[in-house]
Amino acid sequence: MISLGCSKNQVDAERMLAALAAEGFEISSDPTECDAVVVNTCGFIEDAKKESINAILECCEAKNGGRLRCVAVTGCLAERYREELVKEIPEADVVLGIGSNDQLAAAIRKALGGQKTAAFGEKEALSLEGERILANPPYYAYIKVAEGCDNRCSYCAIPMIRGSFRSRPMENILEEARTLASRGVTEINLVAQDTTRYGLDLYGEYKLPALIRAVAAIPQVHWVRVLYCYPDRVTDELIETIAEEPKAMHYFDIPVQHASGKVLHEMNRSGDLETIKALCEKIRARIPDVVLRTTLIAGFPTETEEDFEELCRMVEELKFDRLGCFAYSQEEDTPAGEMEQLPEEVRQRRAEIVMELQMSAAFEFADRCVGRTLEVLVEGAEEGRYYGRSYMDAPDIDTRVYFESDLAHEPGDYVDVLITDTYEYDLIGIAEQKEETKNESAE
């Protein structure tokens, strides 16, 4: 299984892996010894689509002369481009939309018998429940709390690919969290396209705060983190819950996308620099050690020089602790895709400028951590040092803490680390000896 794109797509891949294993398939991470490969694609912006197509073509190439006899394509690219993909890449043996993931095992068997399959069931048929085989180290997991999105930002193809927003019943999520925790998962990352909307469709009210508290109540769970918060739905109750719940990470991932009220309006989003500023100040006032992460888009079709300057001003003023900025990608079948576009190089240049501006904020943030003691989730060791993540680092997208220790540590351990230095964005430290260890060594 090659799973591309976001953590939500990874969860789908993990469900497909468990279904394949239940159907008697052996799962291997070595493509050269496989009869079939599944490319779980991403399809929401140009770069991601290119990456997916390249991965499919590489696998199709590998069929010539190797053991590999079946290339199956699943995920967002298959869902979005359906028959077109089948026509464009006839070498692919199986092409399934997200509503047909449950047909994967049968389709692969047919393909190994020489028969191709293309199926595109209703998006809503995508199962959000069931067993998973984790595709990442066993001590953390993403839990997808809902599928789809109703925000319909004018530049975004995701609602078209994933359908309308639908929450999972809280009991199902908790059952999954308990199962994962019983297998050694201690860090739970709650994800969705818009995690803050969780529960509104099912319970008529926002249920994310209640969900965080319920997941945190699972004894084996140590850390609970929320990703993909929609600014308008970061409620006082959510801020209070993350402030109060000891296991909730003081980490807010809130993609604000832009600063200009005019551009946000044309993105079919609300707010402006003042509302974003007020939200950040409110969170920072209530949770002083909070980490604020955001995502921005530069080069939106109607973005003027003045709008772009306002975006840069926000980055310099608000000093987000973590920030990613993407150049706008023209997506067909989206309202913004119909607008007159800015030249590609202008979009790219503006995104680069924003990331250059962000560097100083990121370095300052790292410097401010020197002298603090942070609990670190150990992820590995290299060159005689351990490395891991603190509450400030989400998996796969943030930085690391490197530290020395007199004791031996395993991936999945939690260690208190005194931060003594920085190296670019990463933190450097030394493990703090627990009282009892200090006494033992004193004796």
For ligand SF4, the binding residues (CB under 6 A) are: 149, 151-153, 156, 158-159, 193-194, 230
Please provide residue 329's backbone torsions phi and psi, each rounded to the nearest 5 degrees.
-115, 120
Instruction: Look up residue 414 and give its two tokens.
Output: 């939690």
Q: Which is nearer to ligand SF4, 82 or 152 (CB)?
A: 152
Long-range CB contacts (within 8 A, 24+) of 29-35 = 31/2, 31/59, 31/62, 31/68, 32/66, 32/67, 33/67, 34/67, 34/68, 35/67, 35/68, 35/69, 35/70, 35/112
Cα separation, 62 vs 71, whole angstroms: 9
Q: Residue 149, by phi and psi: left (phi above 0), alpha (psi -120 to 50) or beta?
A: beta
Comparing CB distances to ligand SF4, the nearer of 44 and 223 is 44
Please report how close the Cβ of residue 252 comes to ligand SF4 at its closest, in angstroms. Answer: 15
Question: Least distance from C-beta 350 to ligand SF4, angstroms?
Answer: 18
The three-point CA angle 120-123-128 to 5° equals: 120
The pairing of strands 414-423 and 373-382 is antiparallel
Phi, psi of 165 (to 5 degrees): -70, 130
Distance CA 195, CA 255 (A): 12
**Least separation, in Å, of the C-beta of 157 and ligand SF4?**
8
Give 160 or 427: the residue with its C-beta nearer to ligand SF4: 160
| Contact of 157 with 43, CB cutoff 8 Å | yes
Question: What CA–CA distance (Å, rounded) separates 309 from 305?
Answer: 6
Smallest separation, CB 98 to ligand SF4 (Å) = 14
CB of residue 267 vs ligand SF4: minimum separation in angstroms? Answer: 8
Nearer to ligand SF4, 137 or 159 (CB): 159
Q: Of 193 and 422, which CB lies nearer to ligand SF4 in the complex structure?
A: 193
Of residues 189 and 193, the one with the C-beta less far from ligand SF4:
193
- CB of 73 or CB of 157, closer to ligand SF4: 157
- Indicate the residue among 117 and 329 with the shorter CB distance to ligand SF4: 329
Least CB distance to ligand SF4 at residue 274 (A): 21
Helices 273-286 & 305-318 angle (0-180, nearest 10): 10
Judge residue 313's burial from the number of C-beta atoms within 10 Å of its C-beta, 0-12 exposed, 13-18 middle, 19 or more buried: middle
Least distance to ligand SF4, CB of residue 354, Å: 17
Closest approach, Cβ 128 to ligand SF4, in A, equals 16
